[in-house]
Amino acid sequence: MRNAETATEAATEAATGATTEAATTRIGRWPVRRHTSALALWTVCWFVVAARNGGVSWHYLKTGGELLTGAEPGGGLAIYANHPELQIGPVSFLTAALFQPFPPRAGELLAEGFMSGLGLYMLVVVGRTAAVFYAGTGVNHRRLQQRVLIAGLAFIPMWVEVSVRFAHLDDVLALFFTTLAVHALVRGRPAAVAIMLALAVDSKPWALSFLPLLLALPRADWRRAACWLVGLVAVAWLPFYITHLGSAAAAQFAIPNQPASALRWFGVADAVTPGWDRPAQALLGLGLGTVAVLRGRWPAVVLLGADARIALDPSVYTYYSASILLGTLLWDAVGQRRLVPWWSWIALISLYGSALLVPSDSAQGLIRLAFAAGSAAYVLLWPMKAKGSRGRRSKGRRSKDPRSGDPGYRQYQ
């Protein structure tokens, strides 16, 4: 009986592989898939529109890069003590410094183009991640490509918002490294998961909310992964705090509590960030992510961490929603198998649409809170269909290296 089941599974995988190989969706002999080309064109269109008035916050990254590399006085390891307003990780400053040799405007445009390209590459990585995660479950990879395409059309406008209009390299890198961490997770590479998450935190501290992804690793890998994570975070941050105790002031930097913030619906009327707010954001994100992993829904960790951020953050910048769209993208591509990625479009319409079309600050705050609460409740509590015996591999056993021949993975090469 077991041999018969094995033979049936092998036949199914062979048939699926033949189907996916037949439906390669390549453009002639070019190694680029059609859905990727469509998303690239979509990215270019949004880039052209946003670049005209882009780079709103690039000066923070530019200044920080110059300070950290010693090009400006008061920088180096004293950067956070002297400039607590720079709520940005050292990895982001070092990356921003790579664009210093160029003329200011050219360097800014190059940085914006670089960040836009990262967003497009992240879509490819998410597609590969889903292909690996669902390998051997009979998933139609042509439909998976379509799902990534539809979700990507919603993701790109918000990605261009963070990468071009605001040019927040720190948020971009935090989300980019988190995406690589998710891919490493389904590939069964615990050290890579920890390294990527550490780089995310070293780029932007709020990426702490994504650390429950470590718990989705096999229990035997937890200690080694934790050592990598703690070590790399310590190497990046401790030199600033050891050499300049005033660096701790950066963690207490407060921003205005805007009228459209969801915090207002909790009765928080403080003029600036309450002292408890940042720790509460991190704890809520970590708690929700941990619950998701325990319920076998680790693809929701990024969305839940982003939900905690927009629900409790005193500011309402539209680029915050890029983390939400990455979370919905991962959930729509990896966490569920519906063809239409509803949550990505619900997020775009409710968060970006309300910011553009709803005049009432109070109503905007309510919409943000409703989305955060509704999406969190859905991914944690809504009954989900089983993904098949191989769909839960990240908790129990290491996944097969896709380079060994999985046709689904090759669909995203």
Determine the Cα–Cα distance for residues 145 and 35; give it in Å rounded to an integer: 7
Torsion of CA 285, 286, 288, 292, to 10 degrees: 130
Determine the Cα–Cα distance for residues 60 and 9; give it in Å rounded to an integer: 55
- Rounded percentage of the chain residues whose pLDDT exceeds 70: 85
pLDDT digits (tens, 9 = 90+) for 246-290: 888 777 788 999 999 999 999 999 999 998 999 999 999 999 999
Query: What would the DSSP string read from start to end of 154-197?
Result: HHHHHHHIIIIIS--HHHHHHHHHHHHHHHHHHTT-HHHHHHHH
Pick 66 or 32 by higher pLDDT: 66
Determine the Cα–Cα distance for residues 374 and 354; give it in Å rounded to an integer: 16
pLDDT of residue 33: 77
Question: Does 26 have pLDDT greater than 60?
Answer: no
Residue reference for tokens 């490509």: 145
Question: Does 17 have pLDDT greater than 80?
Answer: no
* 385 close to 337: Cβ distance less than 8 angstroms: yes
What b/e string do you get for 101-116 counting C-beta neighbours within 10 Å, with b at 16 or more?
eeeeeebbbebbeebb
> What average pLDDT does range 318-328 have in this prediction?
97
State the pairing for strand pair 30-33/26-27: antiparallel
pLDDT of residue 370: 97
Question: Where do runs of H (alpha helix) occur along 33-87?
Answer: 34-51, 58-68, 79-82
- Rounded percentage of the chain residues whose pLDDT exceeds 90: 74
User: What is the CB neighbour count within 10 angstroms for residue 19?
Assistant: 13
Does residue 136 sit in helix, strand or coil? coil
Task: Grade residue 25 by pLDDT with cuts at 50, 70 and 90.
Answer: low
Determine the Cα–Cα distance for residues 385 and 402; give it in Å rounded to an integer: 24
HSE value, Cβ hemisphere, 13 Å, CA-based, for 88:
29
Pick 197 or 13 by higher pLDDT: 197
For the chain, the average pLDDT equals: 87
Torsion of CA 112, 116, 119, 124, to 10 degrees: -140
Q: Show me where the domains of the chain are located.
A: 36-385
pTM over 0.85: yes
pLDDT digits (tens, 9 = 90+) for 150-208: 999 999 999 999 999 999 999 999 999 999 999 999 999 999 999 999 999 999 999 99
Question: Does 3 have pLDDT greater than 70?
Answer: no
pLDDT of residue 79: 93
> What average pLDDT does range 328-335 have in this prediction?
96
Task: Grade residue 109 by pLDDT with cuts at 50, 70 and 90.
Answer: very high
pLDDT of residue 71: 61
